Structure 1
């Protein structure tokens, strides 16, 4: 399993917003400081807004801010906001995708792995991640 570039940018974005919860941040600033393409970042931010991770503000002084406390946002939240549910095989999310799901010896392994991966990602919140950050990782 490998996260997409879009998910990597989303994680960077949430990390940047975590380090600046005191103000609304413009897309230009996030894109510049986190080395992400602005147009791509705008689409990612809309997914984060839809997932209730971030909120947007319109107007001249508009921008984005976290919609929850960093301790209440996990890596799992961000990954699922961008990519949808995590599964190593489609049969885990949709047993009708494979006619062998009911008899397949590997299916229970995929299901168990999905649970373990989700559990691990859910343990890591952005408050904890931000505490371990190096100064150059947030543009500080």
Structure 2
């Protein structure tokens, strides 16, 4: 699956964090988005580990953007949130996932791989600003 709830929550959180000038804490974000605080905390920590957010500790702590909206590609958000590259199918990025001899005889893999490459290119060029401007 290309996108899961982790990606959705990451994108929604980034939009809310970016609209304010101050860091936003997990509790506030989870209430605004009506989602699990513990799951959201993991997603935001992954975004911080990958340099998309900055994490501040303490009473006035929380998360703030580390980049401008136009510098954050959607593919980097998905990779950070999911912990892996997005893929249409498990085998679409590489035939190595195909069991046994099927890798050499799969007639649909070239199509799946081209589709994956087009989606990757689209997501690399699409920024958070592009999404929020529409």
TM-score (norm 2): 0.86
Report the secondary structure of 1:91's partner residue: coil
Shift of residue 40, structure 1, vs aligned partner: 1.1
Moved over 4 A (4+): none
Question: Which residues of structure 1 form unaligned runs of 5+?
Answer: 133-140
| Distance across 2 between alignment mates of 1:92 and 1:128 | 26
Question: Which residues of structure 2 form unaligned runs of 5+?
Answer: none
The question of 1:18 aligning with 2:33 is answered no
Shift of residue 72, structure 1, vs aligned partner: 0.8
Q: Cα RMSD between the aligned structures?
A: 1.7
Shift of residue 94, structure 1, vs aligned partner: 4.5
Q: 2:124 is matched with which residue?
A: 122
| Distance across 2 between alignment mates of 1:131 and 1:113 | 26
| Distance across 2 between alignment mates of 1:19 and 1:131 | 12
Shift of residue 106, structure 1, vs aligned partner: 1.2
Q: Deviations over 1:25-77 (max 9, x none)?
A: 11122112222221111011011111211110111111000111110112211
Q: 2:4 is matched with which residue?
A: 4
Q: 1:138 is matched with which residue?
A: none
TM-score (norm 1): 0.82
